[in-house]
Structure 1
Amino acid sequence: MIIDCSNTLPEFQFQGATDINPKNEEYRKLFGQRWARLAGWTKEEFFKRLESESTENVMQEVYAKLEKNFSMDQFLKMLRDSTIAYHAIHNMDYGRDGSEAPADHDYVAELLKKYPDRFIGFAGYNPHKGTESLKVVRKAITEQGYKAVVIPPYEHGIKADDRKYYPLYALCDELEIPVWIHSSINYYRETSVFLDHPSNLEAPLMDFKNLKIIAGHGGWPWIPDMIAMLLKYKNLHVDTSAFRPRYIAEPNTGWDMFLHYANSLLQDQIVFGSDWLTLGIPIKDYIAEVEEWPLKDSVKEKFYWKNANKLFKLKLGKEVSYGLEE
């Protein structure tokens, strides 16, 4: 049984092929080839098409195939076949100003109601939208079945310790819900790579003693700093989403220290997160790569579901399948 703490819905992941900021063309090339792989293309085929066609046209074709392959019924079957008990839906609220209304959380709320005990809703907060965004998040948590909040500082253009986030942290502290924070490298050329450094989590953890944070994407490439933070703050958790597991297990990639401490002192603070849709890797293949990690069986069980079960107060028991059957 597995609880995936970092993911989204196929329709969120694969929509808007032309929405990516042209200033950040790297993202199109980085993720486009991965999504094309899920659609059945090879990397070579993808780049060959880009030589003679626009990115927009190529991606629209890829998305059309993905829309067919990832219908909700097909998607749910993939989760069942891979023993995913709960799958995260990160309903992000992007943007670097308050010119737009807060993200709509109603659609995901309907899915949470339609598919109970299947998804974990993460409500997106945007600090530039202030009180209006906070109201939406509070409603999502208290009325609509969401169990967590998600913020991507690099998308907001401010660090996680910026005081604009503090009203959210106070709310999460009050309601005893975790907040997932992007804490790894970003590839935006016009945004500092250090904006998402793990050290930016320290002030919130010091100022809100009961605040529970999930450091998303493992803190790479600052693994020693991430480990130091985890050793110091027991309310801090971490996932390794958005990186291929086989890369994490490969020597000299920067993850060696993580695997060492995950197997010992940090075994109660690690949670499974994949972002397999972003990576363009079928979930069964992603899990197969994790199985090659040198983790003790008891630690692997905590990583897969026990730690997240406690963090999200899901009250799961190992002896129950929780909707994994047909």
Structure 2
Amino acid sequence: MAERPVIDICAVHGDREVWEAYLTGFALAAPDYLRRFSAPLARRAGVEEGDYLRRLAADPLAAVHHLIDAGTGFDIADETYIERLRAAGIGHQVLHGFPWRGRGGVDANRSIAALAAKAPDLLTAWTGVSLRAPAQAAREMERAAAEWNMRGVSVSPFWEGVCASDRSLDPIYRTASRLGLPVWIHAGQNFNNTLPLDISDVRHIDRVAAAFPDLRIVIGHGGWPWMADSVAILQRHANVCLEFSSHRPRFMARAGSGWEGVLLQAGGALRGRVMFGSAFWVSRLDAAALAAEVADLPLPDGVADEWLHGNAARLLAGAGRPL
């Protein structure tokens, strides 16, 4: 474990309406996610997985509504969630927002910001914006930072069919750079089978980093399976780092995992550039258990602590302040 409290740079949580908005985004754009992660979703909702899968095959949106309406697991009180994080030894967690809305029309970004405001020492909220309306997204970022204290931005190209390097997105990146907001960009593997995989090719981030050298960029999920490219991008651009949420640390040291280059360079070119993220909802493990697996990786002295705390602490300390 870290010598200091763990910082989880990538998590999703909220009330029932936030979860409905999140899962609605998958139902509309990438329903295969709802199938591949059927076990944790059915477990959280307390429904029979086979029945859920049959509903999903017939109507993804109706299946989401079934999960939400049935599942008390989507209604964890804010205070309970905060207490659990503290008890588990999580020192800080970044909650990622998104632009989708459920049946009630609730703004998920605002709800997540309200949760973070209840424990600002423990939680930070980042705004999730749509790539299909960049000018509107830039205005939302301005408002979210000024009014709701949201200290970063999250974007997912696979969700909307717009690659990260599309020049139409310049208003988003310019605004984030001016406000000093880090931008988390989903990269690598995704399960939107209606789009080519390379919509999330990590090389798009290389172009963004070159065009906006003052923008702090986080490669979401590490960019796997293009890890050699991710390492090269971090070597090329001082304003880019990566986090490895949705990947089990215990498997990263295995031959053929794809993470060999990151481990090889962990104490050298990538020192200070790698952060822990959990995206724990896809796993049977919570953030603390996932973080504990980092201790077993073959890392140079002090690097595990940097991955679990120090590197993210520096990023978060600079959020809201331009480079």
Decide: shared fold, TM above 0.5: yes
- Number of matched residues? 304
Q: What is the match of residue 130 of structure 2? A: 126
Distance 2:30 2:223 in 1: 22
Equivalent of residue 278 in structure 2, options 262, 274, 278: 274
Unaligned stretches of 5+ residues in structure 2: 57-62
**CA drift at 1:80:** 1.0
Tell me whether 1:106 sits opposite 2:110 in the alignment.
yes
Per-residue Cα deviation, 1:17-36 (whole angstroms, up to 9, x for no partner): 67643784432221121234
In structure 2, do the counterparts of structure 1 residues 222 and 94 end up closer, same or farther at CA, with 3 Å as the change threshold?
A: farther
Equivalent of residue 91 in structure 1, options 71, 90, 97: 97
Q: Which is worse superposed, 24-33 or 150-159?
A: 24-33
Q: What is the match of residue 230 of structure 2? A: 226
What percent identity do the matched residue pairs reach? 24
**CA drift at 1:202:** 1.6
In structure 2, do the counterparts of structure 1 residues 296 and 238 end up closer, same or farther at CA, with 3 Å as the change threshold?
A: same
Unaligned stretches of 5+ residues in structure 1: 96-100, 316-326
Distance 1:59 1:33 in 2: 15
Specify the code of the residue in structure 1 equivalent to 2:220: G
Q: Which is worse superposed, 101-110 or 265-274?
A: 101-110
Specify the code of the residue in structure 2 equivalent to 1:152: S
Does structure 1 conserve the Cα–Cα contact (< 8 Å) formed by 2:24 and 2:100? no
Q: What is the match of residue 98 of structure 1? A: none
**CA drift at 1:7:** 0.9
Tell me whether 1:239 sits opposite 2:243 in the alignment.
yes
Distance 2:270 2:29 in 1: 39
In structure 2, do the counterparts of structure 1 residues 171 and 58 end up closer, same or farther at CA, with 3 Å as the change threshold?
A: closer
Per-residue Cα deviation, 1:186-244 (whole angstroms, up to 9, x for no partner): 11111110111111012221111211100000111111111111111111000001122
Tell me whether 1:167 sits opposite 2:171 in the alignment.
yes
Does structure 2 conserve the Cα–Cα contact (< 8 Å) formed by 1:86 and 1:117? yes
Does structure 2 conserve the Cα–Cα contact (< 8 Å) formed by 1:217 and 1:243? yes
Distance 1:2 1:186 in 2: 27
What TM-score results when the alignment is normalised by the length of structure 2?
0.83
Equivalent of residue 182 in structure 1, options 178, 182, 186: 186
Distance 2:300 2:88 in 1: 20
Tell me whether 1:64 sits opposite 2:68 in the alignment.
no
- Please list, as runs of the form range in 1=range in 2, the aligned pairs for 1:175-324 lying within 5 A after superposition: 175-313=179-317
**CA drift at 1:94:** 5.0
Specify the code of the residue in structure 1 equivalent to 2:95: I
In structure 2, do the counterparts of structure 1 residues 157 and 203 end up closer, same or farther at CA, with 3 Å as the change threshold?
A: same
Does structure 1 conserve the Cα–Cα contact (< 8 Å) formed by 2:276 and 2:291? no
Distance 1:140 1:23 in 2: 25
Tell me whether 1:46 sits opposite 2:53 in the alignment.
no
In structure 2, do the counterparts of structure 1 residues 198 and 138 end up closer, same or farther at CA, with 3 Å as the change threshold?
A: same
Does structure 2 conserve the Cα–Cα contact (< 8 Å) formed by 1:211 and 1:235? yes
Tell me whether 1:75 sits opposite 2:81 in the alignment.
yes
Distance 1:73 1:8 in 2: 16
Distance 2:36 2:66 in 1: 13
Distance 1:102 1:129 in 2: 19
Q: What is the match of residue 26 of structure 1? A: 32
Q: What is the match of residue 142 of structure 1? A: 146
Distance 1:14 1:144 in 2: 20
**CA drift at 1:264:** 2.7
**CA drift at 1:282:** 2.1
Distance 2:110 2:199 in 1: 30
Distance 1:249 1:59 in 2: 39
SS in 2 for 1:312: helix
SS in 1 for 2:149: coil
Does structure 2 conserve the Cα–Cα contact (< 8 Å) formed by 1:36 and 1:62? no
In structure 2, do the counterparts of structure 1 residues 258 and 174 end up closer, same or farther at CA, with 3 Å as the change threshold?
A: same
**CA drift at 1:58:** 11
